[in-house]
Amino acid sequence: MAGQVPSIDSDPLHGFDPLATIPAKERKKMDRFIEFALVAAREALTQAGWAPASAAEQERTATVIATGIGGFSEIANAVHTTDERGPRRLSPFTIPSFLANLAAGHVSIAHGFRGPIGAPVTACAAGAQAIGDAARMIRSGEADIALCGGAEAAIHRVSLAGFAAARALSSAYSDQPEAASRPFDRDRDGFVMGEGAGLIVIESLEHALARGATPLAELVGYGTSADAYHLTAGPEDGNGARRAMETAIRQAGVTVDEIDHINAHATSTQVGDKGELAAIKTLFGSHPVAITSTKSATGHLLGAAGGIEAIFTIQALRDQVVPPTLNLHHPDEEAAGMNLVALQARPQKMRYALSNGFGFGGVNASLLLKRWQ
């Protein structure tokens, strides 16, 4: 069970059409996660109105695109080809087709971006870290503007089997897959893998105003930390997650009482959701911050999650609506007294919102966004 992006053939109206962006000849050189990145990059740059023409502009444009796994399907295909037909049957593009940094590489080449480039591979925190890293590049003076976020396309029987063996995937709702992703719900039993890409354009305020751009939100804080606890599970008290959020809030120069909303990392696993709730409760105390997990609708996009969830958070601030956590019928006992937004979207005045991303290896990242006014 997984959440695949439909193709243009199966869904002519909304399906994914890589050929609208990528020449057929070039598609043969890349895994699906790179295709997602190229299409998302075009959409983000078009919306932002950024197409640097001069060498100076190109050299001041950064590209930071994360992935949690990289070209899993192309790796599996290469192994199969080698086993069945021999190593001489591999394409000369085999290695570039699946390298984790090639989403950033392809996008940089396609658009002529010659500034700093990066590709965090920090599991499910990667997308959020890509945005945070890009912000640091701008703040340090290395770049004026950056395209950043994450891309993932790891749905394959081997990856699914591996996550299932780790007891990370949901298996209790195979007959009703739309109910399987249920963050914070008492009856959750694992995540549902998704795929896609979420990329945003960030820039210094001075640069945005100089070119007449209207920001959608401000990125005012970024925090990251390590659990140093376990390869695949965070501590029960969510100590690392708390420190990442705390750092983002401190960097912005605000207090916890000013945070209105959290788009939680919550993937619908028992241990992970409970630890994040504990972290929020410790940091925010009785402050009724509105908490939601959009993974209930999208599934878990692994390294792309931080990118797409930053977009959800920006939209929440722009529209002043907190998205719901679907399938949240019986909140976890850890959530007693907490402000979970369940089942239905909630109109609410908001100024500051956090977007969290945590990953295997004990990696935590938190982005603090502010409504643009």
For each of the chain's 373 residues, which pLDDT tens digit applies?
888 899 888 888 888 989 989 999 999 899 999 999 999 999 999 999 999 999 999 999 999 999 999 999 999 999 999 998 999 899 898 998 999 999 999 999 999 999 999 999 999 999 999 999 999 999 999 999 999 999 999 999 999 999 999 999 999 998 899 999 999 999 999 999 999 999 999 999 999 999 999 999 999 999 999 999 999 898 999 999 999 999 999 999 999 999 999 999 999 999 999 999 999 999 999 999 999 999 999 999 999 999 999 999 999 999 999 999 999 999 999 999 999 999 999 999 999 999 999 999 999 999 999 999 8
Q: What Cα–Cα distance (Å) separates residue 307 from each residue in 92, 95, 130, 151, 300? A: 31, 25, 8, 8, 12
3-state secondary structure of 77: helix
pLDDT at residue number 347: 98
Q: Which CATH number fits domain 217-371: 3.40.30.10, 2.40.30.10, 3.40.47.10, 3.40.50.300?
A: 3.40.47.10
Domains of the chain, by residue range, sit at 18-211, 217-371
**Are the C-beta atoms of residues 123 and 177 closer than 8 Å to each other?**
no
Length of the chain measured in residues: 373
Six-digit token string for 233 = 């599970």
Per CATH, 18-211 and 217-371 having the same topology is answered: yes
Active site positions, annotated:
124
What is d(CA 125, CA 304) in angstroms, rounded to the nearest whole number?
Answer: 9
Quick one: pLDDT at residue 360? 94
Class of domain 18-211: alpha beta
Residue 79 amino acid letter: V
Q: Which two tokens stand for residue 373?
A: 């006014």
Spell out the residues 6+ positions from residue 357 whose beta carbon is closer than 8 angstroms to its own: 124, 125, 126, 127, 128, 129, 265, 305, 306, 309, 364, 365, 366, 367
Q: Given this model, what pLDDT does residue 125 score?
A: 98
Strands (E), the chain: 2-3, 61-66, 117-118, 145-152, 193-194, 196-203, 217-226, 261-263, 290-292, 321-322, 339-340, 346-347, 352-359, 363-371
Residue 271's pLDDT is what?
95
Distance of alpha carbon 24 from alpha carbon 37, whole angstroms = 16
pLDDT computed for residue 9 by the predictor: 87
Which amino acid belongs to residue 8? Answer: I
Q: What is the pLDDT of residue 8?
A: 87
Separation in Å, CA 122 to CA 66, 128, 244: 8, 10, 15
pLDDT for res 1: 85
Task: Show the DSSP H helices in 267-331 as ranges.
Answer: 270-284, 295-298, 305-319
For residue 147, the model assigns a pLDDT of: 99
